[in-house]
């Protein structure tokens, strides 16, 4: 977004853009508002029709009655011989009125007779209506009108222009009924009903929207949980069943995951192949360097190349294992590796390795076998690193001790001790503090601990260094064990 | 002594072959697993150097085939891969030693020397002292029928002690015999090897004669 939206409308737009829930609420509100308005209009229309049905016959009959009762008065003027029998035309401002007026030649009217209910006012007639009514060419007969009455109250009116025998001039008869007079008792009820209807609609909007957000958007939450699972490594791809609308997204995500994994895998394979491919020529170079004029520079370069390749390969391996674990269907917990037999195999390996260079007595102290909660390969890599270091730096004795897990934390311990020079207090502190990066300073010379540490971290294990009873370094590898 | 080299890289194969020939071995070479397996099955070798990443048939399969076929010559595995788990697997399949590329030729030659057929100077191929038994033809050592895993030098020390069972063998004598071809070794490495052997075969089988040396005995007869 280039700029922050301003004003209420802008902010609202921003909200719509940011929130699916806001969209749903808006759509629901607008449609319900439309519905209420339509309902109101329909209701009003219906009311008007109903009123006409009720009012028109009444006013027609009252008008007939008035005309029939009209006659000449004492001075030849128009007079009513009898009032209508309906008493409501007599009560002041009852909502039922009539008015008889003489039509003058200039189009104005002189009111002659009014219903007692009009009290002392007359029903006003604006010019437009007068022109319409008094047009000589207008068709004869009764006309029904909706017009304002006293106090601008809407009236349904019948208008008739008549000539009365023995009375001079034309007369306009108006009989009107205000809808109020008919509806008054029901008006409050209708208003209440409508208010209830609107309140009900609002509640429905709220409920439906909540439902939509809860039920309608639930697949999105499920998707989020699924993606989190993939990220944490609990699953390889998005597994869940999704609605047809989200399915394409999950398919694309899965394809993307596959693609990603493939790219990483390819890159890693590439590095692995490259490094392995380098090893044989390095071996050749190394032998050539050793047999020829003992060129220190050449030999040193070859050693550096070797150390570099080694480092890259180990790093790739740790990453590959982490990746494999992330992609594995079964969590790490599922692996169970008996430790003792593997320790014995490793110790024999080390005896082989150092057989021709150095006599090292590697002994194993274990009261009982322990089961490591993890992969055999990882266990071998970690422990082999420690034993290898101990053999390298020890004088002639290495002790590998296997301790069962304490009940409190379920961590078993492999202790590797040697009788070498050990680390100084400063080096010990450094190894402990900085994730054991002693080997970073001098390639090929150090303990190779940083990679070991990465594997230990994979298992939430712990690697501790102390001064041992034999005088050398004592490494304590704490790893999760099964019960 | 005949050594078989199975390695697909031409330069490395020639270096190996040259160094071994210089050291006095008769060398045959193969540049793929199929030829290597065939040679190993048909010719009597004192040792085989086997690369793991081979064309046609991979090294571990070749080794498995040889062992299944009853070929018991020492096999030294050569590999660019150096995962500990792979080495353990190779040794489980019957390899005798494992050298990771790149390596020093001197180191490789030392290992070859330590691993070439161990029985050369003995008439009898089986030595027995009580229930301790050493089969020189297969290089297998058992105590009361249970196999004991020994490295080449551990084996040599035991072999010499068993060959002179009941007699006192001095440290100097052992050092000279074991390391005759190698560079000078500290004599207390013998102490370490004896310590390891005692742990593996039982501490009462090798007695220390103070100031003189060691004596291998049958503990059953000492009662």
> In this structure, what CATH number is given to the domain that contains residue A108?
3.30.450
> Are A369 and A474 within one domain?
yes
Residues of chain B contacting residue A419, judged by C-beta atoms under 8 Å apart = none
Asked if B103 lies within 8 A of A286 by C-beta distance, the reply is yes
Asked if A284 lies within 8 A of B12 by C-beta distance, the reply is yes
> Are A351 and A474 within one domain?
yes
Secondary structure class of B92 (helix, strand, coil): helix
Residue B192 forms contact with A (CB below 8 Å)? yes
- Percentages helix, strand, coil for chain A, rounded to the nearest 5? 55, 15, 25
Compute the distance between CA of residue A79 and CA of residue A193 in angstroms, rounded to an integer.
47
Instruction: Tokens for A459, please give them.
Output: 């298992």
Helix (H) / strand (E) element for B142: namely: strand B140-143
pTM: predicted TM-score of the whole model, two decimal places: 0.55
Q: Which fold has domain B126-222?
A: Arc Repressor Mutant, subunit A (1.10.10)
Handedness of CA A28, A34, A38, A41 (dihedral sign): positive
> Are A312 and A346 within one domain?
no
Check: CB of residue A376 under 8 Å from CB of residue A342: yes
Predicted local confidence at residue B118, as pLDDT = 57
Predicted local confidence at residue A158, as pLDDT = 93
The residue from A300, A326, A352 where one domain ends is: A326
Min distance A215 CA to chain B CA atoms (Å): 51
Check: CB of residue B127 under 8 Å from CB of residue B136: yes
Residue of A nearest to B181 (CA): A356
Cross-chain CB nearest to A396 (options B15, B85, B192): B192
Q: Is residue A230 part of a domain?
A: no
Residue of A nearest to B113 (CA): A356
Could you tell me which residues are beta bridge partners of residue B141? Answer: B134, B148
Min distance A340 CA to chain B CA atoms (Å): 14
Which value does ipTM take for this structure?
A: 0.75
B83 or B45, greater pLDDT: B45
10-residue mean pLDDT profile of chain A (483 residues): values are 64 81 82 83 83 90 90 83 83 89 85 87 84 76 87 89 86 89 70 80 82 83 84 73 85 85 75 75 78 66 77 71 54 69 89 82 90 84 88 90 83 92 79 50 50 78 87 90 77
Q: What is the pLDDT of residues B148-194, one digit of tens each?
A: 988 888 888 898 898 888 889 988 888 877 775 555 566 678 888 89
Asked if A355 lies within 8 A of B195 by C-beta distance, the reply is no
> Are A313 and A342 within one domain?
no
CA dihedral A244, A246, A247, A252 (to 10 degrees): 150
Report how many Cβ contacts below 8 Å link chain A to chain B: 110
Residue of B nearest to A351 (CA): B151
Q: What is the pLDDT of residues B131-154, one digit of tens each?
A: 899 887 777 899 988 989 888 888
> Are A282 and A147 within one domain?
no
Asked if A284 lies within 8 A of B15 by C-beta distance, the reply is yes
Compute the distance between CA of residue A391 and CA of residue A415 in angstroms, rounded to an integer.
14
> Are A285 and A352 within one domain?
no
Cross-chain CB nearest to A349 (options B15, B88, B107): B88
Which CATH code fits B2-115? 3.40.50.2300
> Are A136 and A266 within one domain?
no
Residues of chain A contacting residue B83, judged by C-beta atoms under 8 Å apart = 317, 377, 380-381
Predicted local confidence at residue B3, as pLDDT = 92
Do β-strands A337-338 and A371-372 pair in parallel, antiparallel, or remain unpaired?
antiparallel
Predicted local confidence at residue A253, as pLDDT = 87
> Are A288 and A375 within one domain?
no
Counting beta carbons within 10 angstroms of the beta carbon of residue A334, is it exposed (0 to 12), middle (13 to 18) or buried (19 or more)? Answer: exposed
Residues whose CB is less than 8 angstroms from the CB of residue A175 and which lie 6 or more positions away in sequence, other chains included: A59, A62, A63, A66, A97, A98, A157, A158
What residue spans define the domains of chain B? 2-115, 126-222
> Are A290 and A356 within one domain?
no
Residues of chain B contacting residue A358, judged by C-beta atoms under 8 Å apart = 189
Domain range for A388: 334-480
> Are A138 and A252 within one domain?
no
| DSSP assigned state of A136 | T
Q: Is residue A78 part of a domain?
A: yes
Residue B120 forms contact with A (CB below 8 Å)? no
Predicted local confidence at residue B38, as pLDDT = 93
- Position B63 confidence tier, pLDDT thresholds 50, 70, 90: very high
Number of domains within chain A: 3
Compute the distance between CA of residue A314 and CA of residue A381 in angstroms, rounded to an integer.
10
Q: Is residue A403 part of a domain?
A: yes
Check: CB of residue B46 under 8 Å from CB of residue B23: no
Residues of chain B contacting residue A384, judged by C-beta atoms under 8 Å apart = 84
Asked if A380 lies within 8 A of B88 by C-beta distance, the reply is yes
**Mean pLDDT on B80-98:** 78
Predicted local confidence at residue A57, as pLDDT = 92
> Are A299 and A419 within one domain?
no
Asked if A361 lies within 8 A of B196 by C-beta distance, the reply is yes
């Amino acid at each position: 977004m280039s700029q922050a939206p301003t004003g209420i409308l802008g902010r609202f737009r921003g909200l719509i853009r940011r929130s699916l829930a806001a969209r749903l609420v808006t759509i629901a509100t607008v449609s319900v508002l439309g519905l209420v308005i339509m309902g109101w209009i329909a209701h009003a229309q219906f009311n008007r029709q109903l009123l006409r049905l009720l009012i028109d016959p009444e006013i027609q009959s009252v008008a007939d009655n008035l005309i029939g009762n009209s006659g000449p008065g004492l001075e030849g003027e128009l007079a009513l011989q009898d009032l209508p029998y309906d008493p409501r035309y007599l009560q002041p401002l009852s909502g039922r009125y009539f008015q008889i007026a003489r039509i003058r030649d200039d189009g104005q009217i002189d009111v002659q007779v009014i219903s007692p209910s009009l009290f002392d006012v007359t029903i006003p007639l604006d010019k437009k209506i007068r022109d319409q009514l008094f047009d000589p060419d207008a068709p004869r007969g009764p006309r029904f009108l909706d017009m304002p009455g006293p106090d601008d109250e809407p009236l349904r009116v019948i208008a008739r222009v008549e000539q009365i025998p023995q009375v001079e001039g034309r007369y306009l008869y108006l009989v009107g009924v205000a809808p109020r007079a008919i509806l008054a008792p029901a008006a409050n009820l209708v208003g209440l009903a409508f208010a209830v209807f609107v309140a009900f609609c609002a509640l429905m909007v709220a409920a439906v929207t909540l439902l939509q957000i809860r039920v309608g958007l639930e697949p999105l939450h499920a998707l989020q949980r699924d993606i989190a699972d993939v990220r944490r490594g609990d699953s390889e791809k998005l597994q869940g069943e999704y609605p047809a609308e989200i399915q394409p997204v999950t398919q694309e995500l899965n394809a993307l995951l596959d693609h990603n994994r493939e790219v990483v895998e390819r890159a890693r394979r590439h590095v692995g192949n490259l490094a392995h491919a380098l090893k044989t020529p390095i071996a050749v170079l190394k032998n050539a360097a050793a047999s020829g004029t003992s060129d220190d520079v050449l030999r040193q370069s070859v050693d550096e190349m070797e150390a570099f390749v080694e480092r890259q390969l180990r790093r790739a391996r740790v990453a590959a294992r982490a990746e494999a674990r992330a992609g594995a269907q079964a969590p790490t917990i599922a692996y169970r590796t008996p430790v003792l037999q593997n320790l014995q195999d490793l110790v024999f390996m080390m005896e082989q390795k150092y057989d021709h260079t150095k006599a090292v007595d590697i002994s194993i102290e274990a009261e009982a076998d322990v089961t490591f909660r993890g992969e055999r390969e990882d266990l071998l890599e970690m422990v082999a690193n420690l034993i290898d270091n101990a053999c390298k730096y020890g004088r002639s004795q290495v002790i590998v001790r296997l301790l069962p897990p304490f009940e409190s934390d379920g961590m078993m311990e492999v202790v590797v001790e040697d009788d070498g020079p050990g680390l100084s207090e400063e080096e010990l502190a450094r190894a402990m503090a900085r994730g054991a990066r002693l080997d970073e300073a001098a390639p090929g010379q150090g303990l190779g601990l940083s990679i070991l540490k990465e594997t230990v971290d994979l298992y939430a294990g712990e690697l501790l260094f102390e001064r041992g009873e034999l005088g050398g370094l004592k490494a304590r590898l704490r790893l999760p064990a099964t019960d | 002594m005949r050594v078989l080299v199975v390695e697909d890289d031409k330069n490395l194969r020639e270096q190996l072959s040259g160094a071994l020939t210089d050291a006095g071995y008769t060398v045959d070479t193969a540049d793929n697993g199929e030829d290597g397996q065939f040679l190993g099955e048909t010719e009597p070798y004192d040792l085989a150097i086997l690369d793991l990443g081979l064309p046609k048939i991979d090294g571990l399969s070749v080794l498995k085939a040889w062992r299944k076929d009853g070929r018991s010559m020492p096999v030294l595995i050569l590999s660019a891969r150096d995962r500990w788990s792979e080495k353990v697997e190779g040794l489980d399949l019957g390899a005798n030693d494992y050298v990771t590329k790149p390596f020093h030729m001197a180191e490789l030659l030392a290992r070859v020397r330590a691993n070439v057929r161990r029985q050369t100077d003995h008439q009898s191929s089986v030595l027995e002292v009580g229930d301790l038994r050493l089969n020189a033809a297969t290089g297998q050592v058992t105590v009361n029928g249970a196999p004991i895993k020994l490295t080449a030098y551990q084996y040599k020390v035991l072999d010499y002690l068993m060959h002179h069972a009941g007699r006192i063998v001095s440290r100097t004598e052992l050092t000279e015999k074991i390391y005759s071809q190698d560079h000078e070794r500290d004599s207390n490495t013998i102490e370490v090897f004896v310590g390891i052997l005692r742990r593996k075969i039982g501490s009462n089988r090798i007695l220390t004669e103070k100031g003189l040396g060691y004596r291998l005995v049958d503990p059953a007869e000492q009662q």
